[in-house]
């Protein structure tokens, strides 16, 4: 059977395949040229705290859309979509503990839940590829490497925690081009927050990511780190709200807008 080329599919077609459980893996490279988003869902009682947390930490938590309580449709970025079914894998949290990783959240949806969609660095990977810069996890067919750092986010209300970063190995001579290419997209993390030595930001072993998969760093390449939308999951672990739902790292929501819609030049 011929493999389906999801890179050339529309966002709606990708979401339908995910809703039908035809795809349950990471979404890097899917619907190429379209925005992807991280997901955080909290009870209405915690939603304002998270909104302020995101406002105070825009690098890891750039807000693209917020739903009304109990409404799973993200009307700004994907009208007609359903956040309960249109991501490949979710994480369900209770008091900071991961309790389940379902492929839909219909059974645990509640009328008081508010969903936040946050910009994802998968969005700017098309710009990297167009600039001739390799994206290793796409080459390897695996998930991006993500790490919890020693950089503390600015607290907000009951929420606090460390920043999470994603890492991509970049040939040293192409690092300036990678910085410029991704800096065009501040709504989806923008330019890197660190380049080079991982221990400076508290990463002890680059070959053992906290989320995602390890990828090889070849001779002449430099690890480059971007703020990551998994940061809220670290905040949930630290702050322990009674209930929350997120995407599983790397298993994003594919939005209708194009990457270029969020570019500043």
Question: What CATH number does the domain containing 154 carry?
Answer: 3.30.2040.10
Please state, for a pLDDT cut of 90, what percent of the chain lies above it.
90
Could you give the angle at which helices 231-239 and 44-56 cross, rounded to 10 degrees? 130
Note whether 73 and 67 are within 8 A (CB).
yes
How, if at all, do strands 162-171 and 253-258 pair?
A: unpaired
Q: What are phi and psi of 16, to 5 degrees?
A: -65, -40
Rounded Cα gap, residues 60 and 243, in angstroms: 21
Q: Which residues pair with 167 in a beta bridge?
A: 145, 225
Per-residue pLDDT of 125-135, as tens digits, reads 888 999 999 99
**Region 8-12: what's the mean pLDDT?**
96
Strand, helix or coil at 196? coil
Are 51 and 126 contained in the same domain?
no
Are 220 and 243 contained in the same domain?
no
How, if at all, do strands 221-227 and 244-247 pair?
A: unpaired
Are 105 and 127 contained in the same domain?
no
Rounded Cα gap, residues 142 and 123, in angstroms: 16
Considering the entire predicted model, what is its pTM? 0.92
Are 208 and 126 contained in the same domain?
yes
How, if at all, do strands 194-195 and 97-100 pair?
A: unpaired
pLDDT recorded at residue 104: 98
Integer angstrom CA distances of residue 154 from 63, 148, 151: 16, 15, 10
Are 223 and 151 contained in the same domain?
yes
Are 9 and 112 contained in the same domain?
yes
Per-residue pLDDT of 43-67, as tens digits, reads 999 999 999 999 999 999 999 999 9
Are 209 and 184 contained in the same domain?
yes
Among candidate residues 107, 88, 77, 67, the one with its CA nearest the CA of residue 15: 88
Integer angstrom CA distances of residue 226 from 123, 172, 240: 12, 16, 25
| CATH number, domain containing residue 31 | 3.40.1640.10
Strand, helix or coil at 243? coil
Are 145 and 202 contained in the same domain?
yes
Domain range for residue 16?
Answer: 3-121+239-262
Are 68 and 161 contained in the same domain?
no
Are 90 and 128 contained in the same domain?
no
Are 126 and 107 contained in the same domain?
no
Q: Give the CA-trace dihedral at 75, 251, 7, 261, to 10 degrees.
A: 40
Rounded Cα gap, residues 66 and 84, in angstroms: 14
Q: What are phi and psi of 166, to 5 degrees?
A: -105, 150
> What pLDDT band is residue 1 in, cutting at 50, 70 and 90?
very low
Are 153 and 212 contained in the same domain?
yes
Give the other-Cβ count within 10 Å of 33's Cβ.
Answer: 14
**Region 78-107: what's the mean pLDDT?**
98
Domain count, the chain: 2
């Amino acid at each position: 059977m011929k493999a389906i080329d999801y890179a050339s599919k529309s966002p709606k077609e990708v979401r339908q395949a995910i809703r039908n459980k035809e795809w349950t893996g990471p979404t890097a490279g899917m619907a190429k040229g379209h925005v992807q988003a991280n997901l955080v869902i909290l009870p209405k009682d915690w939603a304002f705290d998270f909104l302020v947390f995101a406002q105070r930490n825009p690098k890891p938590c750039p807000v693209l859309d917020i739903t009304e309580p109990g409404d799973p449709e993200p009307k700004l970025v994907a009208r007609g979509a359903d956040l309960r079914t249109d991501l490949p894998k979710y994480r369900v949290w209770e008091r900071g503990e991961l309790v389940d990783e379902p492929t839909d959240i219909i059974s645990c949806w509640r009328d008081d839940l508010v969903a936040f969609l946050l910009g994802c660095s998968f969005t700017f990977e098309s710009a990297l590829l167009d600039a001739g810069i390799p994206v290793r996890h796409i080459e390897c067919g695996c998930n991006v490497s993500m790490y919890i750092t020693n950089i503390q986010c600015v607290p907000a209300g009951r929420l606090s925690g460390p920043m999470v970063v994603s890492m991509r190995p970049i040939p040293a001579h192409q690092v300036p081009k990678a910085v410029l290419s991704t800096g065009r997209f501040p709504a989806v993390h923008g330019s890197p927050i660190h380049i080079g030595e991982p221990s400076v930001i508290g990463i002890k072993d680059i070959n053992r990511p906290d989320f995602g998969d390890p990828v090889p760093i070849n001779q002449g390449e430099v690890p480059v780190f971007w703020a990551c939308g998994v940061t809220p999951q670290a905040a949930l672990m630290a702050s322990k709200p009674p209930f929350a739902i997120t995407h599983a790292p790397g298993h994003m929501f594919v939005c209708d807008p194009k990457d270029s819609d969020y570019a500043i030049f």
